[in-house]
């Protein structure tokens, strides 16, 4: 059974999953196989998986005190979903023991930002370049959904590492700087996915049939990523915008900078994120 994590990692690499996912998921599967002491995958049953899931809630940390976080437990669930789906599709098993299982999902405050580990989980659960670009628009660039809908090709100057919001809330305009990694992903999307799909020649983001993405389309695309990441299904594009604001403030950015980054007209609107961030830090 010890060879499965290695084979699983090779599958993740070949399927285009991120490096973070390639390193994280096989380890989760290894822990599960060691827990069950199986002689073969046919011995894995839904009951054993549920027992493992309950055990994760009381399992002590390998380093330090305390137990696993809800987010880490969701990583284990996601790892097992991907692993057994792969085994079923490749003929390794005839029955997927994960199918039909339901796992608890925690509720969260509507003003609570996502944790950095949750953001990492979202990107890890987004193997396609279109999904990763969608995450970058709302998280890395902090766009409103309406701004993403209106975004055109000419607004994205990846070579110069700039993104222009020409019709923000209240008819405001702003320029968003892009990191090298984000600019690279946007360039890859334009050159490898967007190129040749000319049903809508101006829109930056297109749906699968080549039409401009609508707000509903963005919600649907994000929901698929959220579901694969095993996170709370109530996460919307605004959660990502909210989260980057909180993370920038926690990282030491000034309120004035974050206000301009988000396109807020008044500093009071930005201060909401500072208050939420402080509240979350007190709970760590």
- Classify each residue of 150-169 as buried b or exposed e, where b means 16 or more C-beta atoms within 10 Å of its C-beta: bbeeebbebeeeebebeebe
Q: Give CA–CA dist 204/147, Å, rounded.
A: 11
Per-residue pLDDT of the chain (284 residues; tens, 9 = 90+): 889 999 999 999 888 777 778 888 999 999 999 999 999 999 999 999 999 998 988 877 776 666 777 778 888 998 999 999 999 999 999 999 999 888 866 555 555 688 888 899 999 999 999 999 999 999 999 999 999 999 999 999 999 999 999 876 666 788 999 999 999 999 999 998 887 766 667 899 998 888 899 999 999 999 999 989 888 888 889 889 989 988 988 888 888 888 888 887 766 566 665 554 444 333 32
**CATH classification (class only), 4-89:** mainly alpha
- List the catalytic residue out of 144, 194, 242, 259: 144
- List the catalytic residue out of 57, 116, 160, 238: 238
59 is catalytic: no
- List the catalytic residue out of 104, 169, 173, 279: 169
Q: Which fold would CATH assign to domain 116-282?
A: hpI Integrase; Chain A (1.10.443)
247 is catalytic: no
273 is catalytic: yes
Phi, psi for residue 212 in degrees, rounded to 5: -60, 140
144 is catalytic: yes
264 is catalytic: yes
- List the catalytic residue out of 228, 241, 242, 259: 241
- Which candidate, 33, 226, 241, places its Cα nearest to that of 124? 226
Helices (H), 189-253: 215-229, 237-250
């Amino acid at each position: 059974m010890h060879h499965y994590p290695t084979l699983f990692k090779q599958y993740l690499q070949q399927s285009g999953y991120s490096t973070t996912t390639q390193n994280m998921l096989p380890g989760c599967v290894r822990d599960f196989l060691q827990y069950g002491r199986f002689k073969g995958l046919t011995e894995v049953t839904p009951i054993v998986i549920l027992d493992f899931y309950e055990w994760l809630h009381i399992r002590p940390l390998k380093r330090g005190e305390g137990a696993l976080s809800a987010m880490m437990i969701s990583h284990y669930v996601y790892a097992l979903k991907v692993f057994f789906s792969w085994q079923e599709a490749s003929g390794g098993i005839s029955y997927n023991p994960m199918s039909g299982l339901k796992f608890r999902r925690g509720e969260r405050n509507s003003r609570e930002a996502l944790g950095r580990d949750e953001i990492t989980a979202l990107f890890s659960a987004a193997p396609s370049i279109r999904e990763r670009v969608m995450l970058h628009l709302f998280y890395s660039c902090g766009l409103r959904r309406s701004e993403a809908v209106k975004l055109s090709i000419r607004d994205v100057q990846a070579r110069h590492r700039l993104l222009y919001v020409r019709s923000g809330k209240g008819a405001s305009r702003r320029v968003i700087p892009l990191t090298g990694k984000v600019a690279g992903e946007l360039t890859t999307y334009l050159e490898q996915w967007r190129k040749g799909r000319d049903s809508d020649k101006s829109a930056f983001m297109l749906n699968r049939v080549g039409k401009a993405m609508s707000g509903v389309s963005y919600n649907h695309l994000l929901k698929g990523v959220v579901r694969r990441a095993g996170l709370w299904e109530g996460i919307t594009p605004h959660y990502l915008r909210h989260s980057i604001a909180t993370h920038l403030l926690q990282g030491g950015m000034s309120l004035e900078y974050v206000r301009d980054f988000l396109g807020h007209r008044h500093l009071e609107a930005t201060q909401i994120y500072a208050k939420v961030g402080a509240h979350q830090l007190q709970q760590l």
